[in-house]
Amino acid sequence: MIAVVDDDASVRRSVANLLSSLGLHVTVFDSAESFLAADLARIECLLLDVRLPKMSGLELLEKLRSLAVKLEVVMLTAHDDDETRKRAHALGVSAFVTKPFRSEDLVMAIRARTAAAT
């Protein structure tokens, strides 16, 4: 199961459609809080927006780490900077995909993460 956490409904919809068309199971969330309320044991890979309302993507990662939840994470961001990348890598993020992104780039990042998890 791949989870998409993004506050932009069009991003959630387009990513879910893309991944579903490839036969992948996808669930979407509009906030970090709604993601935390889900059954996290079912999630293999998390596509996470950096900038979210209330709790940011990086704050969500900190919370997941404090709960000892281990997931493969691909960060999605329109605001790419060195400090964000450093902080994200320290929290275990291994891939960044910059918005707007090419479908191929997103799929390659996900496949690399899900292959590493199996």
Residue labelled with tokens 């409904």: 9
Distance of alpha carbon 41 from alpha carbon 91, whole angstroms? 19
Residue 94 is predicted with a pLDDT of 82
Distance from C-alpha of 103 to C-alpha of 19, rounded to nearest angstrom = 9
User: Residue 11 and residue 5: Cα distance in Å, rounded?
Assistant: 9
In DSSP terms, 96 is beta-bridged to 75
pLDDT tens, the chain, 118 aa long = 999 999 999 999 999 999 999 999 999 999 999 999 999 999 999 999 999 999 999 999 999 999 999 899 999 988 878 999 999 999 999 899 999 999 999 999 998 887 755 4
Domains of the chain: 2-117 (3.40.50.2300)
Q: What is the pLDDT of residue 67?
A: 93
pLDDT at position 116? 58
Q: Give pLDDT, residue 117.
A: 54
Cα 1–chain centre separation: 12
Residue 113: predicted pLDDT: 81
Q: Which of 64, 45, 68 is nearest to 55 (CA)?
A: 64
The pLDDT value given to residue 78: 87
Helix/strand/coil (H, E, C) string of 92-104? CCCEEEECCCCHH
What's the whole-model pTM score?
Answer: 0.92
Respond yes or no on whether the N-terminal peptide bond of residue 100 is cis (omega within 30° of 0). yes
Q: Cα(95)–Cα(110) distance, rounded to whole angstroms?
A: 9
